[in-house]
């Protein structure tokens, strides 16, 4: 089994988009796959279909499996700890780590993805961030960045802190943002500063994850 933690340099940049495309590409080449998002905020129980867990479940070919993909679901579109508090819950990192470790131990698939919530240093609990969860799991990281003006600092900062925890960045995906500068020019700039991990580019139109699957799965 190949397992990756799908992290972002921020929120709303393409973690789920890229994760779903990778799951579909893996399945298209006959591989088995599964996905887990330990906590989701901004989840509308009356309209689950647009949520991260529903999108991941659909990419797995199991559209009704969203509650298994994300067992902890909160309504408010806020950091998970804040969204949970509004519903009377207190999230604890030990519990989130335990959920992920149990889920990983129970997987018998070729590809397993764990998606965080927000960006690398986004809080997941009142005293711990995505990075703390990533450190505990020690999975290779699939790091998703946008292509907006400012992404270079966000990406290079994320790379610094992830590597400072001795985590491996398996691949970086630059997922094209809306209203962003020229994509090729942005990626060329990023490649001048990041020489270790491969950088895969995900344009908004006509992208499938076959190149990403080749990099990660072959």
Ligand X SMILES: C[C@H](N)[C@H](N)CCCCCC(=O)O
Ligand Y SMILES: Nc1ncnc2c1ncn2[C@@H]1O[C@H](COP(=O)(O)OP(=O)(O)OP(=O)(O)O)[C@@H](O)[C@H]1O
DSSP state of 204: S
Quick note: the x/- pattern for ligand Y over 101-140, rule CB under 6 A, is: -----------------x----------------------
Give me 78's structure tokens. 């806020």
Interface residue with ligand Y among 4, 17, 145, 171 (CB under 6 A) is: 17
Residue 52 lies near Mg ion (rule: CB under 5 A): yes
Closest CA relative to residue 209, chosen from 125, 104, 218, 91:
218
Alpha helices (H) in 60-150, listed in sequence order: 66-69, 80-85, 93-105, 130-137
By the 8 A CB rule, do 55 and 23 touch? no
Quick note: the x/- pattern for Mg ion over 156-195, rule CB under 5 A, is: ----------------------------------------
d(CA 172, CA 197): 7
Residue 8 lies near ligand X (rule: CB under 6 A): no
Residue 57 lies near ligand Y (rule: CB under 6 A): no
d(CA 139, CA 183): 29
Helix (H, G, I), strand (E, B) or coil at 121: coil
> How many C-beta atoms surround the C-beta of residue 184 within 10 A?
11
Residue 211 lies near ligand Y (rule: CB under 6 A): no
Interface residue with ligand X among 117, 159, 167, 187 (CB under 6 A) is: 117
Interface residue with ligand X among 14, 42, 53, 146 (CB under 6 A) is: 42
Annotated catalytic residue 37: yes
When the beta carbons of 75 and 204 are compared against ligand X, the nearer one is 75
How many residues lie near ligand X (CB under 6 A)?
10
Contact residues toward ligand Y (CB under 6 A) are 8, 11-17, 52, 118, 175-176, 202, 204
């Amino acid at each position: 089994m190949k397992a990756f933690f799908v992290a972002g340099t921020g929120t709303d940049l393409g973690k789920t988009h890229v994760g779903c495309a990778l799951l579909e590409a893996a399945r298209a080449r006959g591989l088995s796959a599964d996905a887990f998002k330990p906590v989701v905020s901004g989840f509308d129980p009356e309209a689950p279909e647009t949520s991260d867990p529903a999108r991941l479940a659909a990419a797995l070919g199991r559209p009704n499996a969203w509650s298994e993909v994300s067992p902890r679901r909160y309504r408010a579109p806020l950091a998970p700890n804040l969204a949970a508090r509004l519903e009377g819950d207190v999230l604890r990192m030990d519990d989130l780590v335990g959920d992920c470790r149990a889920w990983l131990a129970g997987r018998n698939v070729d590809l397993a993805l764990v998606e965080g919530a927000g960006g690398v240093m986004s809080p997941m609990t009142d005293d711990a961030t995505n990075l703390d969860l990533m450190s505990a799991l020690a999975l290779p990281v699939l790091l998703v960045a946008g292509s907006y003006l400012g992404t270079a600092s966000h990406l290079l900062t994320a790379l610094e802190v992830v590597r400072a925890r001795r985590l491996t960045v398996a691949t970086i995906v630059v997922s094209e943002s809306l209203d962003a500068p020229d994509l090729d020019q942005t990626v060329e700039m990023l490649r001048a500063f990041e020489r270790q991990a491969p950088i895969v580019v995900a344009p908004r139109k006509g992208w499938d994850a076959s190149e990403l699957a080749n990099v990660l799965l072959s």
